[in-house]
Every structure is written in structure tokens, then in C-alpha cells.
Amino acid sequence: MSIRLRKTVMSVLFGALLAGNLPAQADSQDRLPDIGTTAGSTLSINQELAMGDFYVRQLRAGAPLINDPLLSNYINQLGNRLVKRADSVRTPFHFYLIRNDEINAFAFFGGNVVLHSALFRYADSESELASVLAHEISHVTQRHLARSMESQQRSAPLTWVGALGSILLAMANPQLGMAALSGTLAGAQQGMITFTQANEQEADRIGIQVLQRAGFDPQAMPNFLQKLADQSRYASKPPEMLLTHPLPESRLSDARNRANQMRSTPVQSSQDFLFAKIRTFGMYGSPDRPLSDDLLEQWEKGNVREQLAAKYGRVIQFYQAKKYDEARNRLQPLLASAPTNPWFLDMMTDIDLGQNRAAQAISRLQNVSGIQTNPVLQLNLANAYVEGKQPAEASKILYRYTYSHPDDPNGWELLAQAAAARGLRAEELAARAESLALSGQLDQAIQLLSNASSLVKLGSLEQARYDARIDQLRQLQQRFRQYQKS
């Protein structure tokens, strides 16, 4: 399933948000409690979760998020494999991929980690990508962001929650004029959020342990840092990542020393990593850097996994060029040898739908064993049902899907389409409301739910459900208002 993206300038601001230049406060680091439970001075976990939730909704609204079920699934599996090996995990983790050609990654409250798609370009192995994730995860488990905010709260008379809220809102609001933007940037420059060098060292130290425990190559961490350092030496401007995660020479040598003290085991990148890399490149790369033949030719001469990923990459090239017959011919043997592979099935579904062959996609997907337990393929089948004018069948799948994955906008958007095709206006409005709420547009969401409520029978179960949901969203609105005051 490929998703069209709204492109905005807002991703630029995410870097700026985290790139504030507050002088390092090394001494305050030592005074802070380890887990941060001092009454009154420290953010509680619940506050962090609420802020994380607020932030993710703004992110969905304003950043070019890649809502690709296969890629989301992959980065969340990889991330959670590392989280399982981390200590002091207090919240669930969620990983997001945004379309951005600058190398960067950052962690936010509530275990939310954002990766730029360019990481797939620069990570030559799964261990390298994992090293970046392990570093970000460690910023979260060590609560660097909360501590940074607390220390700034002490040193500056800022209502930081309000200031942060306005930065996030500004990022998410494409209608903002330049004046408002530069005001916001000024706020970011005052150092709302920044990681100190001590934070960086700690995230590396903890992160490399997590990396090794999860079965990846610890050498990947200094190797990836070396790439960043080389890039900053030879490129006209330093990688964005070094603004948010400073990299002095000592950080690189420390990482190198730590890796050298660990047992080094050669680790092969998984097949999924190679598929994810080539898919990100091929489907979400920047227009001026399309998927080139170089990498494919290199992989065609590589190991078995690389050869297979290269074949998949060729299919993507043809699919992107809308040469569907050629794409199909290349994909058929791959699918025949691995009939339940979600990367291949998803691609074949897209090719079918590209050629208006929804019925073919439906019958193929229906016959895949274990499809009920695979959320990626469930979405594919629902999508094929919608395209194939069988919206009632789509709805059946999507009721279950949105129940078990309420935070995935893809499910709600498909459900709204299916309901519209069935003439179920109230249900359509309610599904659209959920999609809007996920991107923080609570006023509009409440409005749609009120409309839905007025369309159904007075006193019906549906009406009770819509009204209860309106109450929940009003509460959420109340909670978010405190982040919007400044």
C-alpha cells in the first residue's frame, strides 16, 4: 500500500526545535535525581506521556510522515527489539519515519522516536541503523529531555510548557506567516530543548550496551559516527544530526574505545532491513536523488539477501515508472518462491490496483494463510475491497483493525471511504473525526462527531457512542490547552 504524502516545510523546523544553543550545564547534570521523582520539580511519567501524545498529533498534522505500513512495521520491530534490552524503560515506545533527506533522528517525550528517511541512505548495515535507534532510546530512558527542561526552568523564567506548545503548534500550522515563524525560531534559539555533551556521552554509553545485548555489532556505533564526522569535514554544511546531537572528537574516540572492549561478532543485516532500505530509497527518496542503479548493481553482486533485495528494488523502479507489466513480470517469480512475504504481496496488490485489477488482488490476499494476524496485509485487503467496490467487506476488516490499531490514521481513512461508499454518512463522519483527532484537529473532530450524532436515531446506541467520544475529546482538548498557553 503506498500512501500519497502532503509535503510541508515543517520538517525543517523540527531540527531547529532541537538545535537550540543553550550553554552546556554540566554541573546541573550531577545534581539531578536519577529517576526524577523529586516532588514538584520533575515531570511525572504521566505528564511526559500526555506531552508525547500532544506532540505526536502535531507531528502527524505538520510533518511529512511516511505512513507506509511496511516501513512503520519494520522500524517499530527493530526499535522494540532494542527497547527490550534497555533498562529503565517506563513507557511504550513508538517509532516514526519522516521523509527528509537530511540525516537526523530525535527522541521526544513518551517514548516517541522520529527517524529521517535519509538514515536508510547512510546506514550501510542494520547494525548502523540500530546504533542510531539505540542512542535515541537511551536519551529517553535517561530522561535527558525532561532534565534539560527542568534545568532550564530553574535557570530561566520561562513557562517552558507553554513555550514548547507554541513551538509545536507553529510547526504544525502551515498557515503561519514568516514573522510568526521567526518568532518561534527565536524561542528555539533560546535553548528550549538541547542535548548537552554529557547527555550525548551517556546516550552513547548506554546505547552501545543496548545495541550489543540486542545482538547487533557494537562497532556499528563508532562507524556511523565516523561517517557523520567525515561528512561534517568535507560537506559544505554539517549534517543536521550534529546540531541536535553534538559530536566532538572525544565522543567519537570514546565510542570507538567502548566498542573495542566489547566482543565483536559479525552480524549480517536482515532481509527486512535490505527491503526497507530499498523501499525507502525507491518510494520515498528525494526527487533529485532517485533510486540509482549503483546500489542495485552492488547488491546484485552481493550475498543472497542482497541479491533478493536488488530484485525487489528493480520491481520498485518499474512500479514507480508505472511500467506495471514489467514490474509484475519481475515480481511474479519472487512471490512464487515466498507466497506469504508481505513486501511482495503489498507490491503485487499495488500493481494490481494500478492496473484496475482489484478482484485479482482480493482473491490473492484472501488465499494467503495467516492473513488475519498480519496488520499490513489486512490493510492491503481492505484497500483492495474499497477499490474493488466491495465496501461492506472492507468495513468488516476495518472495524477490527481500527479497534486494535486506533492510532493508525490509515485504518480510519479507509473506514471513512468504505462508509461513504455504503452511504453510511454518520459512520463516515465519525471515522473522519478519528483521523482528524489523530492529527490534533480536535475542534473539527468534535464538530464531525456532533453532526454524526444528530444524524442517528435519538437515544440509539450509536448516538450514545458518538456523544461519549465527544466528551473524551473535550477532555483531551482541556489537557492540551495547558500546552498552548504561553
Active site residues: 136, 204
Closer CB to Zn ion, residue 116 or residue 245? Answer: 245
We find the least distance from the C-beta atom of residue 106 to Zn ion, in angstroms, to be 8
Dihedral sign computed on CA atoms, order 235, 237, 240, 243? positive
Mark 199-238 with x for binding to Zn ion (rule: CB under 5 A) and - for no binding. -x--x-----------------------------------
Do the beta carbons of residue 95 and residue 110 sit within 8 Å? Answer: no
Q: Which stretch binds Zn ion (CB under 5 A): 16-24, 239-247, 326-334, 335-343?
A: 239-247
Closer CB to Zn ion, residue 21 or residue 292? Answer: 21
Half-sphere exposure of 404 (CA within 13 A, CB side): 11
314 binds Zn ion (CB under 5 A): no
Which parts of 131-170 interact with Zn ion (CB under 5 A)?
Answer: none
245 annotated ligand binder = no
Q: Which stretch binds Zn ion (CB under 5 A): 93-101, 241-249, 340-348, 415-423?
A: 241-249
Closer CB to Zn ion, residue 200 or residue 240? Answer: 200
Closer CB to Zn ion, residue 150 or residue 350? Answer: 150
245 binds Zn ion (CB under 5 A): yes
Which own/partner pairs from 310-316 qualify as long-range (CB within 8 Å, at least 24 positions apart)?
310/278, 312/275, 312/278, 312/279, 312/343, 312/344, 312/347, 313/278, 313/281, 313/282, 315/347, 316/278, 316/279, 316/282, 316/283, 316/291, 316/347
- Opening angle at CA 204, ends 72 and 254, nearest 5: 145
Residue with the closest Cβ to Zn ion? 245
Do the beta carbons of residue 448 and residue 442 sit within 8 Å? Answer: no
Report the C-alpha gap between 235 and 207 in whole angstroms: 27
Match 550534529 to its residue by C-alpha cell: 242
We find the least distance from the C-beta atom of residue 95 to Zn ion, in angstroms, to be 16
Which among 328, 335, 248, 243 has a CA at the least distance from the CA of 20?
243
Cα→Cα distances 421→65, 164, 385, 396, 415, Å: 27, 41, 11, 14, 10
Cα→Cα distances 146→36, 224, 310, Å: 9, 27, 43
427 annotated ligand binder = no
We find the least distance from the C-beta atom of residue 247 to Zn ion, in angstroms, to be 9
We find the least distance from the C-beta atom of residue 341 to Zn ion, in angstroms, to be 35
We find the least distance from the C-beta atom of residue 201 to Zn ion, in angstroms, to be 9
We find the least distance from the C-beta atom of residue 195 to Zn ion, in angstroms, to be 5
Report the C-alpha gap between 144 and 28 in whole angstroms: 12
Size of the site for Zn ion (CB under 5 A): 4
Closer CB to Zn ion, residue 132 or residue 433? Answer: 132
Do the beta carbons of residue 40 and residue 95 sit within 8 Å? Answer: no
Closer CB to Zn ion, residue 113 or residue 295? Answer: 113
Mark 175-204 with x for binding to Zn ion (rule: CB under 5 A) and - for no binding. --------------------x----x--x-
**Residue 354, H or E segment:** helix 342-354
Do the beta carbons of residue 327 and residue 351 sit within 8 Å? Answer: yes
Q: Three cell numbers at 430?
A: 465519525
139 annotated ligand binder = yes
Please enumerate, by residue number, every residue annotated as part of a binding site for Zn(2+). Answer: 135, 139, 200
- What residues make contact with Zn ion under the rule CB under 5 A? 195, 200, 203, 245
